Structure 1
Amino acid sequence: MGESRRVTLKDIAKSLGVSVNTVSRALTDKDSVGEDTRARIKAEAQRLGYVPNSMARSLVLGSAMTLGLVITNPSNPFYSQLISTIEQRGRVHGYSLMLLVTEESPEVDRHAAETLLRWGVDGALVVPVQGDGEHWQRLDDSGVPLVCLNRDFPELDLDFVGVDYEHGAYEATRHLIDGGARRLCLLEEDLPISPVEDRTAGFRRALAESGIGTHRDPVLTVPTRRRESLALPWEPADAYRLAQEIVRGDDLPDAIMVGNDYFALGVYRALAEAGLRVGDDVLVGGFGDHPFAAYLSPALTTVRLPAADIGATAVEVLLRRMSGEGGERGDSEEAEKRRERCALVVRASSRATEGTKT
């Protein structure tokens, strides 16, 4: 038997002197095969390097045993952890993962929905490019259960599992205010997506509840998403240029909140070049708790995202929907919307004792 040829059931049967049907029943754990025979067949299959033909198995079972995962950018640390968790949880239940990347392209996003339908995946987990999400609704309506991740389409009848960005931003902003900040600004992404909207809402709510008024809009947009493609989801240089404008102005904030930790890198540099000390002259709060946050000087106070919890919950919701336990959505069955809480990780950039608050 040549090394390049795929080992078949017939090869195992010939090696052991049993029928192909017996080998098939043993490898699929059918009751009609004795335990000794089953063990012998499985040991021989392993020795020969037998790998099941997934396509043939799919035809028999009527299932591809595959979950589709669509994300915008795998270099985002949050999505990297999300991918890992979803792959692990799916594997436990016997599912492989088909990963598609859209890079924030609406056209690629629509093509991804068509690809998942064409390949016949059993279910899909999707970080959508927000805007027109009707193609995802059509995929769900066609019989492919779907869960939106991290970004919600409230107007569509789709399950959603994501981060409670509003609460996370609220807690971080309140922390800066409790530390003495009265002139605050928020540097946010320029992408019209629900996480940005939710973080902005949380920031504004904290200001309003604290009675802090502003004579200008405290939310500033960092133009990092205007490029066609990025190796990283965010570019510190864009926040650096905006922060330079802020420190040169006549109304220096005493606290700067950023929508992600990469922006904080640019803010740190701009403040240092202006002779301003982070944590003393200007408090800084981040979002994401990326690996470098604890190693900045001073260490960055930031919001830790529950990526592993999001991934595990999303797979749980999807599998329940696929099994029919969640019911068919209709007039009597609303889409499930679940938001996981963040944790505020307090460090020296906010001039406070280190700790974690959920």
Structure 2
Amino acid sequence: MAAGVAPAPRRRVRLSDIADAVGYSVNTVSRALNGKADINAATRDRIVAEAERLGYVPNTQARSLVLGSTRTVGLVITNPSNPLYAGLISAIELRCRALGYTLVLLASEESPESERMAAESLIRSGVDCAIVVPVQAETAHWERLLGTGIDLVFVNRDLPGLDVDFVGIDNERGAYDATAHVLRAGARVVWSLEEDLPISTIRQRAAGYRRAIAELAPDPATARIISVPTRRRDSLTLPWQAEEAYRVSRALIDGGTLPDAVVAGNDYFALALTRALAEHGLRVPEDLLVVGYGDHPYAGFLSPSLSSVALPAAELGTTAVDVLLRGSKDSRTHRLIPPTLVVRESSTAR
């Protein structure tokens, strides 16, 4: 080959190339490669071996036109760096792969505009169906997606105005269990440290906290939900801003009045609170009981180890795929999966 002349691109191997090599019809080759039962084993083995030798790769676009399906599932996540969603993505991808589906991942980063663009991308790409953690700002783009015939399942956050399947976590129960735990451990005044986003998961946790206070607190009037400003919309790397929780915690401690226990909306906030307490000479759990939410991998290795509510990310993802791809769609699914309170040193009264 002359210097400076690029080699010609290799032509894609076709079914006809395999047919010519083995001496069978294109139809026989196609049926063998698709596992049809009317092809005997010896013939199938010979065709498959020749296809592998030639480097044959199925044309999925052509196949999808024939079958009317791309066998592709879209997944829209608000923030992939959230540990819950990282586990969710992994579970969904594994389940889709086991069922012969490919996953297309898009991130909205809590932006309604990015979510609208993600919905349009799913429509243009021709996915069969989609799993979505909605921003919970608008519904028009999801209505448009449903109108194209794409099945949809919402995960973790719901949009009740749409007739869509939903699989979520029983966050009210998780917050109730955490709050009830510290009250039963002897705390008389319990506060909640929460995010300030207007989303259903936070409203559910607040409801669980209030229910436990109403049922078990000696004086329900002492309840307080402290809102932590979030800059999540300005950050593509962190699901929460621990420094904001640290700043809020320092201000509370400087104010001179503290509760007996704090139930945090996530483990980052619990970690920030513990750091602020230590800097003021206060100890967990001796001076304050602390419970987090999410049970991230580091929770059990802190000193003291952090009590936290473990979230069923794997079951959430697997269930969402199964609901999405189930055969019958005669009725809608609305399923809540319970979380589990993991009690460690930070909430064990001494």
Match of 1:306 among 301, 312, 315: 312
Give the aligned partner of residue 234 of structure 2: 228
What letter is aligned with 2:125? W
What letter is aligned with 1:129? V
Give the aligned partner of residue 116 of structure 2: 110
Query: How far 1:140 moved relative to its partner?
Result: 2.2
Give the aligned partner of residue 37 of structure 1: 43
**Residues 201-233 of structure 1 deviation map (CA, whole Å, 9 limit, x = unaligned):** 101110010144355661111112364223110
Query: How far 1:4 moved relative to its partner?
Result: 4.6
Match of 1:196 among 199, 202, 206: 202
Query: How far 1:36 moved relative to its partner?
Result: 0.8
Match of 1:131 among 130, 137, 154: 137
Give the aligned partner of residue 283 of structure 1: 289
**Residues 124-163 of structure 1 deviation map (CA, whole Å, 9 limit, x = unaligned):** 1000011222321332243211000000112321110010
Q: Is the aligned partner of 1:97 residue 2:103? A: yes
What letter is aligned with 1:109? E
What CA distance in whole angstroms lies between the structure 1 residues aligned with 2:14 and 2:67? 19
Change (3 A) 1:311 1:226: closer
Query: How far 1:66 moved relative to its partner?
Result: 0.4
- Give the alignment of 1:163-174 within 5 angstroms: 163-174=169-180
Does the 8 Å CA contact 1:191/1:225 hold for their aligned counterparts? no
Q: Is the aligned partner of 1:53 residue 2:59? A: yes
Q: CA RMSD in A?
A: 1.9
What CA distance in whole angstroms lies between the structure 1 residues aligned with 2:271 and 2:88? 24
Give the aligned partner of residue 149 of structure 1: 155
* TM-score, with structure 2 as normaliser: 0.93
Change (3 A) 1:221 1:5: farther
Q: Is the aligned partner of 1:246 residue 2:243? A: no
**Secondary structure at 2:294's aligned position in 1?**
coil
What letter is aligned with 1:336? T
Change (3 A) 1:296 1:231: same
Query: How far 1:253 moved relative to its partner?
Result: 1.2
What letter is aligned with 1:280? E
Query: How far 1:307 moved relative to its partner?
Result: 0.6
Aligned residues: 344
What letter is aligned with 1:345? V
Does the 8 Å CA contact 1:67/1:123 hold for their aligned counterparts? yes
What CA distance in whole angstroms lies between the structure 1 residues aligned with 2:112 and 2:146? 18
Query: How far 1:299 moved relative to its partner?
Result: 0.3
What letter is aligned with 1:38? R
Does the 8 Å CA contact 2:73/2:101 hold for their aligned counterparts? yes
What letter is aligned with 2:345? A
What CA distance in whole angstroms lies between the structure 2 residues aligned with 1:252 and 1:265? 17
Moved more, 267-276 or 250-259: 250-259
Query: How far 1:317 moved relative to its partner?
Result: 0.7
**Residues 256-308 of structure 1 deviation map (CA, whole Å, 9 limit, x = unaligned):** 11111111121111010010111110000000010111111100000000011
What CA distance in whole angstroms lies between the structure 2 residues aligned with 1:38 and 1:226? 55
Query: How far 1:3 moved relative to its partner?
Result: 8.2
Q: Is the aligned partner of 1:344 residue 2:341? A: yes
**Residues 156-215 of structure 1 deviation map (CA, whole Å, 9 limit, x = unaligned):** 211100100000100011001111111111111111111100001101110010144355
Does the 8 Å CA contact 2:72/2:101 hold for their aligned counterparts? yes
What CA distance in whole angstroms lies between the structure 2 residues aligned with 1:37 and 1:226? 58
Runs of 4+ in 1 over 6 A off after TM superposition: none
- Percent identity reads 57
What CA distance in whole angstroms lies between the structure 2 residues aligned with 1:260 and 1:4? 53
User: What are structure 2's unaligned runs of at least 5 residues?
Assistant: 1-6
What CA distance in whole angstroms lies between the structure 1 residues aligned with 2:285 and 2:161? 41
What CA distance in whole angstroms lies between the structure 2 residues aligned with 1:49 and 1:178? 66
What CA distance in whole angstroms lies between the structure 1 residues aligned with 2:37 and 2:48? 15
Match of 2:274 among 268, 273, 284: 268
Does the 8 Å CA contact 1:257/1:285 hold for their aligned counterparts? yes
